[in-house]
Structure 1
Amino acid sequence: MMQKIQKFGGAMFTPVLLFAFAGIVIGVGTLFTTEAIMGDLASPDSLFYQCWNVVLQGGWTVFNQLPLLFAVALPIGMAKKQNARCCMEALVLYLTFHYFLSTMLSQWGSVFGVDFSAEVGGTSGLAMIANIKTLDMGMLGALAISGIVIYLHNRFFDTELPDWLGSFNGSTFVFMIGFFVMIPVALLAAFIWPKIQLGMFAFQGFVKSTGALGIWVFVFLERALIPFGLHHILYSPFYYDNAVVPGGLYSYWANKLPEIAASTESLRSLVPQAGFTATGFSKVFGCPGIALAFYKTARPEKKKQVLALLLPMTLTAILCGVTEPIEFTFLFIAPPLFVVHALLAATLSTVMYLAGIVGIHSGGAIEMASLNWIPLMANHWKQYLLMLVIGLCGTLVWFLVFRFLIVKFNFKTPGREDDEGVKFYSKQEYRDKQAAEKGGAAANSKQELAAKILEGLGGKDNIVDVTNCATRLRVNVKDISIVQPDTYFKSIGAHGAMVKGKSVQVIVGLSVPKVRAQVEELL
């Protein structure tokens, strides 16, 4: 079960990879179309405004079609065969489901307790999905329908029909079965979902009322679930669905940017719910403190090597908000440090919230700049200056705490290993090592790394399936006993590996999609 949950969490991350660029476009577009910032240049009648508005509306594509995006993207990570065809099946059956549901509500809405004549949005519980007026089931509804389609695809795609029915094989057969399955599913949704919506409204009220304590618990759990690959499941309903605000915090915040930019009130007083996206403060301010502690406590002869390892990891965390490379360098060898890291992350986020600093702060500096600093600096620069001061104090705390714990308990963090055979390699060192072993022959780094990873996983016959998230190759294996230890994967150029049951997560970095492609080619 844990393997399936981890695989599901990784699959959910696939569409999230699009959000960084979309967020930048919306942030910049909002900046140049806000009169409070740009003055008369951003007047709706000006050509400047109109041109930037074209760009801005294009940037909204991802956020305006989130349910559809998740429904189509889930099969990429979950389908066991013919992923592309499964994506097509998920799209058409998701739309079919909503056409069924829309027709049922238009004819018998009162039976289900739904006022189908109401305007979409707000508390009506209705939404427009691909121009279909239907129940607002958000991302959860999309994932449920997509999950049903994936099951049908995995079960029936390879079904062999008689020759005279040959044209109904494959995706057509899946669609035929799914078409009739969607009718009772739509009927069930019409009965159940309005009741769930009432519960969701109550839950939103509860979460909003928890204040700083709610922020602390949320951020701590988000960090603590990273080793299990389940953090996406925790934050996705908050960020991209209706857990605390309609449409998710990303969409909600972006819509309110012009209003926030024009106000001089504190950010928390304007959008207090945005405190739940404070998970990025530990990435921008905490990871540099961790890296500095690793460097400071490393052996003198290894400092240069450790610095080469930590620089790209730290910059990736600060700029892109991807922390797995640096976090997984100490998670396996010093788990208590990771618990401390989660506690510090929750505390820093709570302090920021109490200081009135909220916004879209779940990613790295690039995302923060595009959705916060650039469009809001004019009227909120004092708060961002305070954020910098608090953040740098946090960096110092991370450094002091980690340095103390590393020395006190002699944790074997990078550069402190007793085993001289355990070594961290930079990309260039790895390539030189491989070239030397092969008599100086040049190696294709991605192909070579994929081959070595496959070897460390026990060979292709030991592989059940392969997926990936932003930085990790997620593999389910048949026999975990023949999988190499964490030190092996570090020695071949990866950042390590984590084993949970029969699931192995190899930390590769941001190039993991290319490495996965090479692994699948070898398989």
Structure 2
Amino acid sequence: MLGFLQRIGKALMLPIATLPAAALLLRLGQPDLLNIPFIASAGNAIFANLPIIFAIGIAIGFAKDNNGAAGLAGAIGYFVLSAGVQALNKEVNLDALGGIVTGVIAGLLYNRFHTIKLPDWLAFFGGRRFVPIITSAAMIVLAFIFGFVWPGVQHAFALLGTWMYDLGAFGAALYGMLNRLLLPLGLHHVINTLIWFQFGDYHGAHGEITRFFKHDPSAGLFLSGYFPIMMFGLPAACLAMIAAAKPHKRKAVSGMLIGIAFTSFLTGVTEPIEYSFMFLSPLLYGIHALLTASSMAVSYLLGIHAGFGFSAGAIDFFLNFRIAQKPILLIVQGLIYGGIYFIVFYSLIKRLHLKTPGREDDDDTIENNQNGFKKITSDDKYAVIAAQFIQDLGGVSNITSVDNCTTRLRLTVQDSQLADEHALKKHGAHGVVKLNKKNIQVIVGTNVEFVADSMKNQLKSPFDLSQVSANLDIENKPSNVTLTTNLGHLAFSSPLKGNLLNLEEVPDQVFSQKMMGEGFAIDPKDGIVISPINGKVTSVFPTKHAIGLLSDDGLEILIHIGIDTVNLKGEGFTVYVKEGEYITKGDILITFNLDEIKDKVPSVITPIIFTNLPENKHITLEQTEEVDLKEIIQIM
């Protein structure tokens, strides 16, 4: 449960970062300051839409790959939930709770369904497109439940507020504690409305805030205790979290925490601080609620009457200084509470290893061992390959950058001589090309993207290879594929128009030395690529310059248009098929602007590779002449 709450806390960091500026705009635009309504409205736009912001941010944070589709599902889910609840009962206001619940559900549903496969006639709605649909369905059910249950909950807290107001200092303490504890649920507004605008009567004015500004000498006792917390306590808590942060994360979190601490001091907007740790460390939030309760009781017993028009920050404190009673005592009380917050927060964070900002685990799904490296299991195949490759390339310190194209890793290193070619091949590489002292290419195959992504992640936090399961065999082995095609003499339909070439003539040693497998090449005369087989598309590279196919006979084919065309990032290419699509001979796969790209790359010669041929099979062309589209190529 704590781990789950910490995930919510981490997911909230992104939307929280928007709040300090919004709070300043909202406060500065008020009539008692600059009196510029459009500035106040601009700032209020963030707070008015905080639930939807939470729904989007948490959904993306919960998604395994932080994909924006999860955020879209979160937004749609919140609209369905809020509209459904309002249709059943217009008195219900879920506030931030609705956004948090929706975000969590949308993120979890994304992880469960973003790869779902539907029948062909519904295939368009499969994968990530299915997530907003299933999220909407879940929110309809939740809206029905909340529509009937939540009004009773709100009414119960209204009765509680009436009872508290009659209890004096104890009631003020109870109000302060519940106000903070109910903040995550949005129910604090129920009690606030009663205390601030309904209770008490002074010449027809009702509520603590209204009566305070009407100069009621008894008003403000239930408001004054907030000032020491918002101006001093919570900013001191931010300083404690900065001091307790991990050294390598302290600089990153300092900017955020200092910004929201200043916001709390100046404007009294504390939500950015509280949401930054309430889920990461619920224990600290509970202590914060108790400290708030004690502050409310102390200021009540000291007879301090101070109020606010917006919130209990420095702006309201100084604006209302003249009409408050004993306001100087609030400064003294605030300094004391600032010291208490710093000592309590810092001590508990360090002693109990609480996961406040800057102290979260780098990856909640992977356990750290005593050496600080991450343990991985036999399920993390590509993580293991990536970890071995990093070691074989000379370690983290030798790798400057990682990139990839369709089949190979493109690496920038400090010294290519530190790379162990034999070890790389042992751990899964088909071949290694050392271009110069700084650049290496490691030929991996069509799964290269997964290895590259894992390498990028591990360069930030290395894995401990001693923890790799001995049962995971990642050495390069022949593909276990049975080919029914007679490869002794193969009649193959040409995918391009151009001059036939043997693979040895390709101006790239990865292909010419057959590191990717047997095949041939075509020097194209135009920019049309068609399917040479009946089968399906297994992969389309994001930069559109290469495509993988699987024939009905089990033959794997890679068509790689040109050399180093990955650097064009898709410019000049158009793809007409998608992964998983069934194709027949002659279907157009890709078109490209030959005149546009030929001067931008070393060569437009296009290798056609059979990536799963048995080791005893070799390709030799019977002819090396010009061929047309669909023309049969005789291969021995």
TM-score normalised to structure 1 length: 0.49
Higher helix share: 1
Higher strand share: 2
Whichever of the two has the greater Rg, that structure is: 2
TM-score normalised to structure 2 length: 0.41
